[in-house]
Amino acid sequence: MGCVAVALWLAAATGAAASAWAVQRTPIPPGVNSELDGVSCTQRLCTAVGFMTNAFGAEATLAERWNGSSWSIQPTPKPAGVTDSSLLGVSCASSRSCTAVGSSINRAGTQRTLAERWNGTNWSIQRTQDPAGATSSRLVGVSCTSSRSCVAVGFWYYVGLPSSEVMLAERWNGSSWMVQRTPTLAGATFGQFGGVSCVPVRTCTAVGFLTNAADVEVTLAQRWYGSGWSIETTPTPAGARSSGLDGVSCVSSRSCTAVGFLTNAAGTVGQLAERWNGGSWMLQRTPNRIDGGLVGVSCASTITCTAVGYSGGKTLAERQNATGWAVQPTPNLAYATKSELEGVSCASPRVCTAVGFFTDLAGINMTLAEQYS
C-alpha cells in the first residue's frame, strides 16, 4: 500500500486544472480500508471523522484534523467490549469543542449508539442512551450550537409486529445524552434521519426518509422548537419512484437547505434539493447528473450553499447562489476506480472542505479530502 500512497500524490488529478477544488493530502491510517464520512470546520481548522478496517474487516473509529496546512490523525478511544466502531458525523462548536457520533457493535453482535468528544487535547467517549427495546441503534449526524448543547440523529430498530426501523434523536445538555421522542407518520413502517442542523435559538431541523403506508420511500423533515419534535410537510418530486434527504444545513430558523436523492420510474438515481423558507419546504432545481446523489450540504449564507456527493463513480460538488444550483468541477485521481464525497463544511462563502473516500486499482478504499477556495 506504500507504493499506492506515494503514487497518490505524484499522479495527475483529472480536471484539477479547471477547478477551484483541489485534493488535499491525507495521512494513511494503520488499517486496510479507510474513509471519512463527516467534517466540521471553524475558521481555518477542520475535524473529519470516519472509520478504518483491519485485515479481518473489523472497523475502528477514525478522526483527522486540518490545522490550516496539513491533515493529521488523532487517536480516538475504542469502547470497551466492542468488535467494531465507526464515526459518521461531527460538529465543532469551537476549535476546542467537537462532538462526533456513530455506532459500535459488541461481541453479541448488537449495534449501539456512540458519541465521542474533543476537548482541544484529546477524544473521550460519552455515554449515550439507546431507546428501550432497541435491538439495534445508530447515530449518523450531529449539530452543536455550543459545548453544552448538541442534537444527534439516526435510527433504531425493534422487533415487533411488524418489525420496524424508527427515527432516533438524542440531545446533549452539557452533562448527559437523553433520547427525545420523535413523531412517526401514521402507517409508516420504516424511517431514519440522515442529518440535522441546529441554530442558536433552540431550533433544530432533521431530515431523512420514511416508507409510508403505500410502501413508497419519501422525504422526511422534522423540527425541534425547544419543547418537542414535529413533522413538516416536504414535497415529492414529480415522477419519483422513491426519494430521501441525507443532509441539511440551516443558517437561521427561517432558512434551511436539504439535499439527497431521487429515483425515477426508470430506476435512475439523481440529485434532490429542497429549501425551507420559514413557512414551507420547496423543491429546488438541480443540474441533472445521473447515477448518484447529494449526501452533504453546508450553507455559509441564505443564498450560498455547497452540496457534495457522487455521480457516475466520481466526486460531485454543486454550489447554490442567487441564481440557482450549478455543478462545480472536482478533481478525481487518474487511477481511482471510484470516488465519493460524503460530507462538506464551509467556514465562509469562499472556503469549503469536503471529505470522503476513493477506491484505488487494488480495490482498497482510502480517505479523501478536497478544499474549495
Query: What is the per-residue pLDDT for 160?
Result: 73
Query: What is the per-residue pLDDT for 227?
Result: 86
Q: Bigger pLDDT: 190 or 265? A: 190
Q: Bigger pLDDT: 370 or 3? A: 370
Q: Work out the average pLDDT over 241-247.
A: 96
The pLDDT of residue 5 is above 50: no
**Of 86, 107, 98, 113, which Cα lies nearest the Cα of 29?**
86
Query: What is the per-residue pLDDT for 16?
Result: 42
141-176 burial, b at 16+ Cβ within 10 Å, e below that, comes to bbbbbebebbbbbbbbbeeeeeebbbbbbbbbeeee
The pLDDT of residue 202 is above 50: yes
Residue-wise pLDDT for 165-182, tens only, equals 899 999 999 999 999 999
**Of 371, 312, 364, which Cα lies nearest the Cα of 35?**
364
The pLDDT of residue 12 is above 70: no
Query: What is the per-residue pLDDT for 185?
Result: 82
Give the predicted TM-score (pTM) of the model. Answer: 0.93
The per-residue pLDDT of the chain, averaged, comes to 92
Query: What is the per-residue pLDDT for 289?
Result: 82
Query: What is the per-residue pLDDT for 162?
Result: 67
Q: Most distant CA pair in the chain: distance in Å?
A: 56
Proportion of the chain above pLDDT 90, given as a percent: 81
Query: What is the per-residue pLDDT for 17?
Result: 43
Alpha-carbon distance of 93 to 149, in angstroms, equals: 9
Please tell me whether residue 9 adopts helix, strand or coil conformation: helix
Contact of 71 with 368, CB cutoff 8 Å:
no
The pLDDT of residue 10 is above 90: no
Proportion of the chain above pLDDT 70, given as a percent: 94
Residue 222 forms beta bridges with which residues?
206, 231
Question: Which positions ≥6 away from 118 have C-beta within 8 Å?
Answer: 47, 63, 74, 92, 96, 97, 98, 99, 100
**Of 169, 216, 153, which Cα lies nearest the Cα of 188?**
216
Q: Work out the average pLDDT over 147-155.
A: 97
The pLDDT of residue 6 is above 50: no
Query: What is the per-residue pLDDT for 267?
Result: 83
Q: Where are the domains of the chain?
A: 58-180
Alpha-carbon distance of 232 to 274, in angstroms, equals: 12
Q: Work out the average pLDDT over 318-339.
A: 95
Q: Give me 42's grid cell.
A: 471553524
